[in-house]
């Protein structure tokens, strides 16, 4: 015996329909939008930063009260370097 309620599909909401249409449009046109006009340069540049540049050095938590105490003289201040 099959329950007839399981076979019914809910109608999509307007929001779901618009988001699906937007996603389909973006997927279809993304390669054309992302590609640069003109001749292509085959080089790909990769910059690898090792050592002292970690997440806390790139974006320091200068508003944290423990930051200055833990880092001492090398701590960044809110007024700049």
Residue 33 lies in a domain: no
Residue 25 lies in a domain: no
Instruction: Give the pLDDT mean for 17-37.
Output: 82
Determine the structural domain holding residue 72 and report its residue range. 52-81
Q: Which residue has the higher pLDDT, 53 or 29?
A: 29
Residue 40 lies in a domain: no
Q: Is the pLDDT of residue 54 over 70?
A: no
Q: Is the pLDDT of residue 1 over 60?
A: no
**Residue 21's pLDDT band (cuts 50, 70, 90):** very high
CA 34 from chain centre, in angstroms, equals 16
Residue 58 lies in a domain: yes
Residue 23 lies in a domain: no
Query: What is the count of structural domains for the chain?
Result: 1
**Residue 58's pLDDT band (cuts 50, 70, 90):** confident
Structure tokens at 75: 């701590």
């Amino acid at each position: 015996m099959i329950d007839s309620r399981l076979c019914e599909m809910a109608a999509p909401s307007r929001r779901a329909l618009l988001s699906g249409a937007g996603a389909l449009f973006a997927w279809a046109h993304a390669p054309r939008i992302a590609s640069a006009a003109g001749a292509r340069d085959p080089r790909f540049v990769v910059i690898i930063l090792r050592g002292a540049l970690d997440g806390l050095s790139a974006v320091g938590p200068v508003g944290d009260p423990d930051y200055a105490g833990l880092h001492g003289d090398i701590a960044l201040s809110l007024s700049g370097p």
